[in-house]
Amino acid sequence: MAGTLIVSLDFELFWGMLDVCPLEDYQDNVLGGRRAIPRLLRLFREHDIHATWAAVGFLFAESKEEAQRYFPQNRPGYENPKLSPYPWFDRIGDNEDQAPCFFAPSLLKMVAQTQGQEIGSHTFCHYYCREKGQDVTAFRADMEAAKAIARDHGYDVTSVILPRNQTEPEYTEVLRQLGFTAYRDEENDWIHEKIHNHTLLRALRLMDVYLPLTGQGGYIPRNEGGIWNLTGSRMLKPIFKPLHGLERLKIHRVKAQMHHAAKHDLTFHLWWHPHNMGAMTQEYFDELEEIFAYYDELREKYGMRSLNMGEAARELNKGCK
- For residues 21 and 296, what is the distance between their CA atoms, to the nearest angstrom? 38
Encode pLDDT of 52-108 as tens digits: 999 999 999 999 999 999 999 999 999 999 999 999 999 999 999 999 999 999 999
- For residues 310 and 117, what is the distance between their CA atoms, to the nearest angstrom? 10
User: Is 291 in a helix, a strand, or coil?
Assistant: helix
pLDDT digit string (tens) for the chain, length 321 residues: 789 999 999 999 999 999 999 999 999 999 999 999 999 999 999 999 999 999 999 999 999 999 999 999 999 999 999 999 999 999 999 999 999 999 999 999 999 999 999 999 999 999 999 999 999 999 999 999 999 999 999 999 999 999 999 889 999 999 999 999 999 998 776 566 545 557 777 777 777 777 777 778 899 999 999 999 999 999 999 887 777 778 899 999 999 999 999 999 999 999 999 999 999 999 999 999 999 999 999 999 999 999 999 999 999 998 776
User: What are the CA-CA distances from residue 173 to residues 127, 139, 147, 230 (Å)?
Assistant: 16, 11, 16, 15
- Nearest 5°: the CA angle 17, 15, 77 is 95
Q: What's the sign of the alpha-carbon dihedral 159, 40, 270, 203? A: negative
Alpha helices in the chain (DSSP H): 23-47, 64-69, 105-112, 136-152, 169-177, 190-194, 198-210, 247-263, 281-302, 309-320
Q: Phi/psi at 153 (nearest 5 deg)?
A: -105, 10
Residue 267 amino acid letter: T
